């Protein structure tokens, strides 16, 4: 009996087939004789032609206040630097090759800004309720491995290779002396997909 499943390792994800308890590497389609691989946007056997890179920077959390413009459109007004959890970016369903980095203020190991992740139901999966993880963590989310570096490094890193099966919200928890965070993020989406990533008005998103 052959059982198809996804094996998670500390360094990467391998699509494997289990035969009598022995794991044998297979293609992304689960076939032993296949050399198919996932492309940058997570399409099995894809050629990267439909991949679009989304990247941006978050440097200053703030409250957002919307008011009506004279032409009935919405305009955003920024208030002061806010303590607590601040929205950074929404990672849409299908986002892959995710790389998010929060550099410590002036190279500090702990600048009192911490990455946080919650699911679409608002439940925190990482660094929620003002409790942060100082050590490395691996989060398994419906077949996708999300790797977190922990807070004990000068650069906090959050990464995932395989496509997300559900949207995630990335936030930054700012406490203490309120040094400004400096977060860079990038990920790939399938350009033919209808899901659109959400950016706060004070980030600078870029697409390639």
Q: What is the pLDDT of residue 3?
A: 37
100 and 165 within one domain: yes
- Give me the domain span that covers residue 13: 1-37
The pTM for the full model equals 0.72
Rg (CA), the chain: 19
Query: What gap in Å lies between CA 165 and CA 193, rounded to an integer?
Result: 13
Query: What gap in Å lies between CA 132 and CA 123, rounded to an integer?
Result: 15
92 and 12 within one domain: no
84 and 165 within one domain: yes
Digit-coded pLDDT (tens) for 19-35: 666 777 778 877 877 88
Query: What gap in Å lies between CA 163 and CA 96, rounded to an integer?
Result: 4
CB count within 10 Å of CB 105 equals 17
> In this structure, what token pair is assigned to residue 128?
């929620």
Residue 44 maps to a domain? no
69 and 169 within one domain: yes
Backbone angles phi, psi at 123, to 5 degrees: -85, 130
67 and 31 within one domain: no
Residue 28 maps to a domain? yes
138 and 77 within one domain: yes
58 and 88 within one domain: yes
Per-position pLDDT tens, the chain of length 208: 333 333 333 333 445 666 666 777 778 877 877 888 888 888 888 888 889 999 999 986 444 444 444 343 434 444 445 689 999 999 999 999 999 999 866 666 667 889 999 999 999 999 999 999 999 999 998 878 999 999 988 899 999 999 999 999 999 998 877 677 889 999 999 888 765 554 544 444 555 4
CB count within 10 Å of CB 35 equals 10
């Amino acid at each position: 009996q052959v059982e198809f499943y996804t094996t998670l390792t500390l360094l990467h994800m391998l699509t494997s087939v289990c035969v009598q308890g022995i794991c044998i590497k297979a293609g992304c389609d689960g076939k032993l004789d296949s050399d198919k691989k996932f492309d940058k946007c997570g399409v099995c056997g894809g050629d990267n032609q439909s991949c679009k890179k989304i990247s941006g920077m978050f440097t200053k959390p703030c409250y957002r206040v919307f008011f009506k413009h004279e032409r009935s459109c919405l305009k955003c007004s920024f208030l002061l630097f806010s303590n607590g959890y601040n929205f950074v970016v929404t990672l849409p369903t299908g986002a892959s090759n995710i790389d998010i980095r929060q550099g410590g203020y002036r190279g500090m190991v702990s600048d009192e800004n911490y990455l946080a992740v919650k699911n679409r139901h608002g439940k925190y999966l990482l660094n929620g309720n003002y409790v942060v993880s100082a050590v490395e963590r691996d989060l398994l989310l419906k077949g996708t491995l999300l790797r977190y570096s922990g807070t004990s490094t000068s650069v906090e890193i959050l990464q995932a290779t395989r496509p997300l099966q559900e949207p995630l919200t990335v936030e930054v928890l700012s406490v203490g002396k309120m040094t400004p965070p400096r977060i860079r993020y990038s990920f790939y989406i399938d350009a033919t997909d209808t899901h659109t990533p959400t950016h706060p008005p004070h980030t600078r998103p870029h697409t390639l």
